[in-house]
Amino acid sequence: MLECLRGSYNLGDSSDVPYGVTAIVDVRQSIHVDERLRSSFENMHVGYPMQTFERFLKAREGNVAKANKMLLDCLNWRVNNNIDKILSRPILPKERFDAIRESQLIGFSGFCKQGRPVFVYGVGPGGFDKAPVDKYIKSHIQINEYRDRVLLPEASKRVGHYVGSCLKILDMTGLKLSSLNRLKILTAIATVDDLNYPEKTDAYYIVNAPYVFTACWKAVKPLLHERTKRKVQVLQGTGKHDLLKVIDISSIPEFSQLPLNEPGRQKEALLDFKKNYFSPSHPFHVKLWNYVQNQASIARPPGLLPQPSICVTIPEPDDKSTEVVHLIESTLEQLAAAEKSDDLLNGRVAETNGN
């Protein structure tokens, strides 16, 4: 029963939450009257309701009314889109699942020194061009739900205390101006995470950042909340020195373990990492696939027809997110124009020298 979902607690010390606030959270009436919301909330908090409230409070800067609304909006989104059943609806056929894994590059490399899962994203080479957009969205949500309902509870049990968040390493190798055509799907994924999986990532470590990322980051950074800016850490080169402060060497991607003065070996290690960690045959993706298949067999006993696929509605981004997207688009367009201008100028110089 959720009649006692009421708590008073501090959001954290000043190093984590600068404003430090104690709040009373009470959404019991709204959730209690709807069995579907209650069931979805239980799936979402997996035994840690107060920590879940705390995440939404942090996401809304300690504003209780806004946090309550955000949580209720999230629960309604989950109910209306059957998110609680998404781990029993495999992406079929298997070839499509494999194609998504090979073009939406997400890998699991282990755990940090505090026991949090460490995910690696191949932002540069990821193409998102092997399946319809809705399948990529569904795949991303499946990984979120598997992380929250399976991986994080296992991590908590392993270290003997609550683990409710992860770290992400974003490899920007190969990021180009053509990334503009991926901005729509990346924005949709980010909106889903911001509104429905708040405070699930403690830090984003940016490695191998080219000038394209640097220019975009410089443009959008002033628009971001201070807490968001503190989470994003742009590391030098492969980031090995800084990553070792929080992650054991065994959980750091191979391409971040090599010295900066060996670019050839770094490139080779990156290719190996893409081939292994991002591959559908990596143990993490094999376990995910098998888990979803098993849940599907439980939800659909032998003899029954397959359950219909889930189509997820993407929440509308807020005004701040829309402004950030437009600024990124504008920055990329300016960079593309400058690059084109440089090419024309270089071509004229070469033509002049040739004459």
Mean pLDDT (whole number) for 146-156: 97
238-279 pLDDT per residue, tens: 898 999 999 998 898 876 665 544 555 556 656 666 667 788
User: How many residues are given for the chain?
Assistant: 355
What pLDDT, on a 0 to 100 scale, did the predictor assign at position 186?
Answer: 86
Is there a cis peptide before residue 132, judged by omega within 30 degrees of 0? no
Grouping H, G, I as helix, E, B as strand and the rest as coil, residue 117 is: strand
CA angle 1, 52, 205 (to 5 degrees): 160
23-55 pLDDT per residue, tens: 434 566 667 668 899 999 999 999 998 899 899
Determine the residue type at 281.
Answer: S
Give the C-alpha distances (Å, rounded to integers) separating 208 from 185, 211, 221, 332, 347.
Answer: 22, 10, 18, 18, 30
Pairing of strands 201-207, 106-111: unpaired
DSSP states of 58-81: HHTTT-HHHHHHHHHHHHHHHHHT
DSSP 181: G
Separation CA 213–CA 184 (nearest Å): 17
Separation CA 173–CA 124 (nearest Å): 5
Separation CA 164–CA 158 (nearest Å): 13
CATH no. of 88-296: 3.40.525.10
Separation CA 10–CA 83 (nearest Å): 30
Separation CA 157–CA 57 (nearest Å): 25
More confidently predicted of 224 and 322: 224
Q: State the residue for tokens 């080779």.
A: 268
Judged against a pLDDT cut of 50, whether residue 349 lies above it is answered with no
294-316 pLDDT per residue, tens: 999 998 765 554 555 667 777 77
More confidently predicted of 354 and 216: 216
Phi, psi (degrees; rounded to nearest 5) at 326:
-60, -35
Judged against a pLDDT cut of 50, whether residue 5 lies above it is answered with no
325-339 pLDDT per residue, tens: 666 667 767 766 776
Tokens (6 digits) for 247: 């992650």
Tokens (6 digits) for 304: 């029954």
Mean pLDDT (whole number) for 90-117: 94
More confidently predicted of 311 and 196: 196
Q: What separation, in Å, do the N-terminal and C-terminal C-alpha atoms of the chain show?
A: 84
What pLDDT, on a 0 to 100 scale, did the predictor assign at position 148?
Answer: 98
Domain ranges in the chain are 6-80, 88-296
CA angle 99, 277, 161 (to 5 degrees): 120
